[in-house]
Structure 1
Amino acid sequence: LREGQPLSGADATLLRNLGDLRLHVEQAKIRLSELRTTTVETPYRGRPLTIQMARSRRDAPGRSGDWVILEDALAPHLQRFRRHIEFALQENGLRAEEIDHVLLIGGPMHMPCVRAVVADVFRRNAAVSRELAQVEQAGFPVDPMECVAQGAALYGRGEGPEPPPNQLPYHYGLALRNPSGRYQGRILLQRGQAAPCEGRLQGLTAHGKPGDSIPVSIYIWEVGPDGGYQLVGDYRFSPAFDSKGLAQFEGVLRADEQGVVSAYWSDLRVRGGTLRLEGLNELRGEPMPEPEEIQELDFNAWVQEMQRRGMTEEQIEKAIRDQIPDGTVKPIDAARVEATRRAAQNILDLCERALQHDPRLAGDSQAREGCAQLREALRRLPRGEAPYELWAPVAHGAEMLLLPMERSGILSREQIRLLRGQLGAAAGQ
């Protein structure tokens, strides 16, 4: 199924069947809160489909391999649920034995396997264990499905406590990404910080030539048992490079009163020079490696200090290039060159075929121009070891070609992710 394409009759039937199947399985899951076995019957691909479901392996009569075992299917989620309970205790400096009461809230608490996780976490807490045992014997003191609605009603009548100010749920940071795929960044907004708020990444410099763009990312760091660094969005901007190939810029992350976070980049050489962001890719939840700490630099003060010390222009320029790694990149080894060539050629072939045969891309001037630029960059890329300035346009050009193919729906997000991964692996070898 392709986004934006009309569905055939068979496709529409399949989607309807999948929707019905999901509904029936959800209803079966609810039934298994009370029953030990149940059956799902629904049409699928033109024939009746029957699924036998059991709460646990012990409850499945005969061979359990013929049954869908709910507890097995939920095992990863139950483990994650347990980790979150333990993390909540740890983050607040508490042990399970120090809790006075546990209130079971939400529909999943009707499921015995979910309650069993809670009981196991608090198994050494005699008071809580008695409460949970009472639930198993006499039922819930507060209905898990109703208590959330009751709380919402209290808030609606103004009887609840004052809601806390908007607080950011994650740490938010900005990162620069070099052609080798490495991230350098810094957390600018802190989890729990009250919105509105902002953080700045100042004194940033880069080497390049007019027209070059710099890849940047917004990322989050989620605290918790399943936390880690995740990309929110990738994009680029093109700062003004001076005659020595230097650009100076700064980034700002700003959370508005609703907690919506936005990024702004400014060119320090241009008054009021807010930089236009291009090629935004939404990457919500895509994992990223922990970024290296980025170095901020008061560039003007640094240059003035070198001039005060009597350094010549040549010495200052060398010091700048030593300070900013991108200015003195070593030649790219033959293995990386060849891997990048293969990945880029694959992307170029895909885009050129789409330009010729797919009307969704036929009129895209960005794609056509990008193909021409990448074709020329590949032609100039030598075999074997290559200078950085000849290798980088291939890596950059191939990545930029992915944008129009994603925007037009030629490639799915999963295909884009795969191709970007191949290109990144080649660049980072």
Structure 2
Amino acid sequence: MTKTTISEVHKFVGNEVTIGAWLANKRSSGKIAFLQLRDGTGFIQGVVVKSEVPEDVFQTAKSITQESSMYVTGVVQKDDRSPLGYELLVKNVEVIHQAVDYPITPKEHGTEFLMDNRHLWLRSRRQHAIMKIRNEIIRGTYEFFNNNGFVKVDPPILTGSAPEGTTELFATKYFDENAYLSQSGQLYMEAAAMALGKVFSFGPTFRAEKSKTRRHLIEFWMIEPEMAFYEFEDNLKVQEEYVSHIVQSVLANCKLELKTLGRDISKLGNIKAPFPRITYDEAINLLHEKGFDDIQWGDDFGAPHETAIAESFDKPVFITHYPTSLKPFYMQPDPNRNDVVLCADLIAPEGYGEIIGGSERIHDYNLLNQRIEEHNLDPAAYKWYLELRKYGSVPHSGFGLGLERTVAWISGVEHVRETIPFPRLLNRLYP
């Protein structure tokens, strides 16, 4: 007996194999039963012909219920009609566990019902495809940074201070001290960059933001590189090369998943560096031209504004040089303009909004100390962060990419709740 997986059946054309699988769906037409099988690596159709198998095997194939588990033995055949390109001519079915009254049937279900059953919804073709694309983006992330001399560093999740203030943080007690769930590993990554040059982190972050939009999660994952001796322009170059890399990786390695989702891959094929850039000032003017008369210089952009700006480009677009008043305390001022900082948000096409925020960081001790005071932050909590500017300070830059928004954009999914295995939303902590 040769055991294999669905993703490996192409190696066994004409041979008999056994696959451990679940029944995703089935249909029968008298003397033939068609089993839609899944095993975690993919989906394949198993064809059971009554005249070619013992009667008990055919009856098992006809009676087995959705999401029952089994070992299926059969001969691998090429089939150009199949999305996979192969099917299984079934010879035997050995039931492991018979599922009863599986709640998610092929009919339409409401979002709340599906979210309540997220632990089961993950088994569907669509969710399987999204998770495979997420995995490929993660794989491509490690590939890009490892190939470009970055060192993976893991910042703490429990912190005593916040990069952007504490208004949107989850507070907890750390024995006799106050602590917070991290909203970013950036400050710690700056320390790591001073030790290791070019670093990146990949981990969960938390925002206690009471938002219900399709772009927001309470718990999400961030990729956060930080680079010593990298100035503003250097930073933008790394960002566009990284995003280009992960998009092209998904196109190369997730063709079947993109097809399952009905993604228009022609829009993704064009995502290659360099990306267009406009300043915040130019973005304000563009919005006025598009009829957004209410927005004024100094206002932050909302989702409708970002979408309108992105519509003018066929690639992600950098919006640079935001007003100082809109951005966190650590961003380096433009040497030619005190009222803006050397930062950029990368806006994805097709209405997916900001996927990256980044900047050159302040490397002057006195200026950073002044900014901490202006933002009414506790100097004692940031003593270690200031010391990075006290002992061998250098220009440095970094950015953070939100994984779930990026997955949503690349896969063409409407809402970020589908881009993470178990989403944490404003009113959802179950399952």
TM-score normalised by structure 1 residue count: 0.23
Relative contact order: is structure 1 or structure 2 higher (C-alpha 8 Å, sep ≥ 6)? 2
Identify the structure with the greater strand proportion: 2
Identify the structure with the greater helix proportion: 1
Structure with higher Rg: it is 1
